[in-house]
Structure formats: structure tokens, C-alpha cells
Amino acid sequence: MPEGREKVLLRLRVNGTEHQTAAFPSRTLLEVLREDLGLTGTKHGCEVGECGTCAVLVDGRPALSCLLLPLEMQDREITTVEGLAHNGNPHPLQDAFVELSAAQCGYCTPGILLVAKALLEENPHPSREEIEEALGGNLCRCTGYLKIFEAIELAAERKAGNVTQRRRDAEECAV
């Protein structure tokens, strides 16, 4: 994208932290996150809104950072993949992705994790179809969709406490 002539001061709230940076107004949120704020977990893909690789959350909702202008994001709460962990502990989705090997090259994973986070917050018990629909805009070049869907289901079960209960049931049966 061609740069504007003069840089403007941007105030962005990302992962709960206020950032100030000067950037050309034509820069996309994706570019500012990666190149000015050093948050390189958000990935460059098609840059035209078709692959979902650059997905972040804006006020908790999935959004494509390659299509957003940071100037319009100044009063919004932006979440990137770097903001998923809490107090140094991975998000349940991250744990499930690791356990089920749901990331292959991992390039699509940050965007998918954020879209899945928004899904589970809105719908804690999504069906397989609902997961597939939510991730409809996120392309995985490695095409490992099955593991991705299973990892999201596992994280949903854990959030609901079902896995713990299932383990307890199994232990009681074994006595």
C-alpha cells in the first residue's frame, strides 16, 4: 500500500497495554502490529481479506488486520495471539493445539486460535458444523483441518469441565 506523506501519532490498546507509535496513515493494522509494535505473531498472508491468516480480535470479535486502518482502531481493544496466554499459562486452546498436534507449519494457527477464542466465548458448546462455519474464512495451507476442529472441541470440553469429569468417572470405574 502506498504510504501517506506524513506520519501520524497512533495510540493503540493491544493485549491490555497502551502503545504509542508514529506511522504513515495508510499503513494497515497488520503492518503496524508487526513492524512498529513487534507483535509478529499476527501473520501476513494474502493481504486482501481472503485467507484469515492476519486475524485478530477487535473488542472481542474476529477482524482481519490486513483490512483495518490503525487510525480507526484507537478506541478499540485489540487482541493478538501474544495476548492469549494468562499469567504465563497458555490458553486452553493453545494447550489443546499442542496436545493434538493441530499446528503443522503453524502459519495459520494464530488467526485460527483467535477466531476459536471468540467462538467459544460466544458459544461454549459449538457443534462441529458451527466450528467449521466459524473458521470458514481461515485457510490452512497444510490442510490439517481435522486436528484443528478436534483441538477446539477438546478446549471447549475442558472449559466446560467435562474432561475432568470424564477422567473422574473413568477412575471411579477402575476402582
- Rule CB under 6 A: say whether 64 interacts with ligand FES: yes
26-to-2, 36, 37, 150 alpha-carbon distances in Å: 7, 14, 16, 39
29 touches ligand FES by CB under 6 A: no
Helix H or strand E encompassing 18: strand 17-23
* Residue 108 touches ligand FES, criterion: CB under 6 A: yes
Q: Does 77 bind ligand FES (CB under 6 A)?
A: no
Comparing CB distances to ligand FES, the nearer of 80 and 109 is 109
As a whole number of angstroms, the distance between CA 146 and CA 160 comes to: 21
Residues in contact with ligand FES, counted by CB under 6 A, come to a total of 23
Interaction residues for ligand FES, span 31-50 (CB under 6 A): 44-47, 49-50
Least distance in angstroms from the C-beta of 90 to ligand FES: 17
Adjacent-strand bridge partners of 21: 10
Residues for the chain: how many in total?
Answer: 175
Q: Does 53 bind ligand FES (CB under 6 A)?
A: yes
Within residues 78-107, the interface with ligand FES by CB under 6 A covers: 103-107
Contact between 64 and 54 (Cβ < 8 Å): yes
Q: Is 142 in the site for ligand FES (CB under 6 A)?
A: yes
What is the three-state SS of 109-146? HHHHHHHHHHHHHHCCCCCHHHHHHHCCCCCCCCCCHH
Q: Residue numbers of the site for ligand FES (CB under 6 A)? A: 44-47, 49-54, 64, 66, 103-109, 140-142, 144
